[in-house]
Amino acid sequence: MPVLETAAALTAELEEVAAWAAGLEALHARIANHFARTEPRQRVLAYLQGLLSSVERKNGWQLAEQAGDPTPDGMQRLLATYRWDAEQVRDDLRAYVVEQLGDEAAVLVVDETGFLKKGTKSVGVQRQYSGTAGRIENCQIGVFLAYASHKGRAFIDRELYLPKEWTADRGRCDEAGVPETAEFHTKGQVARTMLERAFAAAVPAGWVTGDEVYGSDGALRRWLEAEHRSYVLAVRANEYLWTWHADHAPSQEAVGVIAARLPADAWTRLSAGDGAKGPRLYDWALLPQQRALEPGWGAWLLVRRSLSEPTELAYYVVFAPRETTRATMVQVAGQRWAIEEVIEAAKGEVGLDEYEVRRWVGWYRHITLALLAHAYLAATQAQAIRSGVGDEEKGGPWNRTWISSR
């Protein structure tokens, strides 16, 4: 390569590194006012830099070494004893994501993930199903609210699921630093709490989606409908919906039974978004639900059928304006799968699951900072694509999927 071309390439690389550092410092400046003292204010920047670095594991020792510290004491103090409010930083995270990725047609995605743990001391830990492991394991469960638009995807909220076995044992809660005000909430109730915060903050979004845990929560669905919030929520085959038949009165039937009566011409082949191997193509059927709704609104049962395994079906309940198209519903449903990929990326890229804290405050602090670091990656990717220097096809979990407006 000629000398001039080599120099130009080096200059461009240095400019990119400088822009990266400047962007991270600007993000740090947004949250700096939550840290009254200089030491924790500087420490949180080092923590974010470590999470975004290429170190193999993002635990206390590795982050300390990355920051040039001889011990992890400073990083541990940031998560355990320094005075700062993770909820305030969470609010800044949400505002940053909306600023960078905001769109009125965006989708709010509720999802959860497990954090495998040993022993019984880590807050919220118990033997419970972990999607990460695909089986019952000793783990913590984090419930997350993600934001997905055509500009990118990132997280805006998080909550630790606290099982009944924990809330019923005040001594155990005290040992783990759980606030006295903490009570047991189902995962659906946890999701509602985060959605309420998003709605109160006027987060621009046209849809809510989530898996069967949240779709099968009737109280959550009814609340979303009362709030006039469109949703596409997965449900199990044994979920009951009201149906009408010409030969008898209205009755409730399981969605699996309803889907079994669908005629051959009910199916349309559509993509739910691009995956690693191209468009995620399935056959989709759409059936109106027969129940009373406010004027202008509709409710449907959306059924997905695998192309390779036609007996493999998945089910979704939909609430949206009557003019909503099947293609739009399918695209919204596809965002939940995309967020699963983003969760895995957050674990792999910014150490979401590599914390070594046991107490309540430490969990919320690490998770919040990891989500902030991940949001910076998503925003940087979006900015690069908008400027024409990024390649969205190489964006991995930050690939863009357009969600058509309602």
Residue written as tokens 């089986």?
Answer: 135
Cβ pair 384, 163 in contact under 8 A: no
Q: Read off the pTM.
A: 0.91
110 and 10 both lie in a single domain: no
What mean pLDDT is predicted for residues 215-222? 97
CATH number for the domain harbouring residue 102: 3.90.350.10
**Domain span at 16:** 1-84
Whether 396 is in a domain gets the answer: no
Question: What per-residue confidence (pLDDT) applies to 9?
Answer: 53
Residues whose CB is less than 8 angstroms from the CB of residue 206 and which lie 6 or more positions away in sequence, other chains included: 104, 105, 106, 107, 230, 403, 405, 406
Cβ pair 135, 145 in contact under 8 A: no
What's the number of domains the chain is made of?
A: 2
Tokens found for residue 73 = 């004491």
- For residue 342, pLDDT over 80 is answered with yes
Give percent above pLDDT 90 in the chain.
75
Give residue-wise pLDDT tens across range 2-17.
655 565 555 555 566 6
- For residue 274, pLDDT over 90 is answered with no
**CA distances in angstroms from 390 to 371, 383, 393, listed in the order given:** 22, 8, 9
Question: What per-residue confidence (pLDDT) applies to 186?
Answer: 97
17 and 116 both lie in a single domain: no
- For residue 399, pLDDT over 90 is answered with no
Question: What per-residue confidence (pLDDT) applies to 2?
Answer: 64
78 and 215 both lie in a single domain: no
Of 84, 118, 152, at which residue does a domain stop?
84
Give residue-wise pLDDT tens across range 220-250.
999 999 999 999 999 999 999 977 655 556 6
* DSSP codes joined into one string, 331-395: HHHHHHHHHHHHHHHHHHHH-TT-----SHHHHHHHHHHHHHHHHHHHHHHHHHHHHT-S-GGG-
User: Reduced to 3 states, what is the DSSP secondary structure of residue 273?
Assistant: strand
Give residue-wise pLDDT tens across range 123-149.
999 999 887 778 899 999 999 999 999
Confidence of residue 395 (pLDDT cuts 50, 70, 90): very low
Question: What per-residue confidence (pLDDT) applies to 7?
Answer: 55
User: Reduced to 3 states, what is the DSSP secondary structure of residue 280?
Assistant: strand
Whether 405 is in a domain gets the answer: no
Question: What per-residue confidence (pLDDT) applies to 245?
Answer: 58
Give residue-wise pLDDT tens across range 276-318.
778 899 999 999 987 878 999 999 999 999 999 999 999 999 9
107 and 118 both lie in a single domain: yes
71 and 90 both lie in a single domain: no
What mean pLDDT is predicted for residues 157-174? 97
- For residue 391, pLDDT over 90 is answered with no
75 and 157 both lie in a single domain: no
Tokens found for residue 298 = 């509709």
Question: What per-residue confidence (pLDDT) applies to 17?
Answer: 67
